[in-house]
Amino acid sequence: MTTAYSPATRFTPSGTPRVPAFAVVSGAQVQRVLQGREQRIVELVEDAYRLHDEGDSVNPPSYFLRFDDRPTSRIIALPASIGGATRVDGLKWISSFPQNVTAGIPRASAVLILNDHDTGYPFACLESSIISASRTAASASLAADWLSRHRPRPTNVGFVGTGLIARYIHTYLAGTGWSFENVGVYDLSPENAAAFRCCLEQSGAAGNITVHDSAEEVIRLSDLVVFATVAARPHIHDPAWFAHRPLVLHVSLRDLAPAVLLASANIVDDIEHCLRADTSPHLTEQLTGDRQFLDGTLADVMARRIAPPADRPVVFSPFGLGVLDLVLGKYVYDQLADSGELHVVDGFFHELSRYG
pLDDT at 353: 85
Residues 209 and 200: beta-carbon distance below 8 Å? yes
Q: In terms of Cα–Cα distance, which of 242, 37, 249, 30 is closest to 143?
A: 249
Which pairs count as long-range contacts for 65-71, CB under 8 Å and 24+ apart, including other chains? 70/97
Mean local confidence (pLDDT), 254-278: 97
Mean local confidence (pLDDT), 291-302: 98
Instruction: With a cut of 60, say whether residue 9 has pLDDT above it.
Output: no
Q: In terms of Cα–Cα distance, which of 246, 175, 187 is closest to 211?
A: 187
Strand 57-58 with 63-66, pairing: unpaired
CA–CA dist 191, 266 (Å, integer) = 33
What one-character DSSP code corresponds to residue 249? E
Taking only the tens place, the pLDDT of each residue in 114-147 is 999 999 999 999 999 999 999 999 999 999 999 9
How crowded is residue 199: how many other Cβ atoms within 10 Å of its Cβ? 16
CA–CA dist 278, 299 (Å, integer) = 23
**% of the chain beyond a pLDDT of 90:** 88
pLDDT at 205: 86
pLDDT at 14: 59
For the whole prediction, is pTM greater than 0.85?
Answer: yes
**Residue-range domains of the chain with CATH:** 7-132+322-345 (3.30.1780.10), 135-317 (3.40.50.720)
CA–CA dist 176, 184 (Å, integer) = 20
Q: How confident is the model at residue 327 (pLDDT cuts 50, 70, 90)?
A: very high
Q: Which residues pair with 263 in a beta bridge?
A: none
pLDDT at 336: 98
CA torsion 258→321→186→240, rounded to 10°? -20
CA–CA dist 241, 215 (Å, integer) = 10
pLDDT at 1: 37
Taking only the tens place, the pLDDT of each residue in 28-39 is 999 999 999 999
CA–CA dist 198, 190 (Å, integer) = 12
Q: Which residues pair with 24 in a beta bridge?
A: 125, 343
pLDDT at 285: 98
Q: Which residues contact 339 (CB under 8 A, 6 or more apart)?
A: none
Instruction: With a cut of 90, say whether residue 2 has pLDDT above it.
Output: no
Taking only the tens place, the pLDDT of each residue in 243-256 is 999 999 999 999 99
Q: How confident is the model at residue 6 (pLDDT cuts 50, 70, 90)?
A: low
Give the largest CA-CA distance in the chain.
Answer: 71
Instruction: With a cut of 90, say whether residue 84 has pLDDT above it.
Output: yes
Mean local confidence (pLDDT), 76-93: 97
pLDDT at 183: 97
Instruction: With a cut of 80, say whether residue 286 has pLDDT above it.
Output: yes
Residues 306 and 295: beta-carbon distance below 8 Å? yes
Mean local confidence (pLDDT), 315-319: 98
Instruction: With a cut of 80, say whether residue 21 has pLDDT above it.
Output: yes
Q: How confident is the model at residue 356 (pLDDT cuts 50, 70, 90)?
A: confident
7: number of CA atoms within 13 Å, CB side? 6
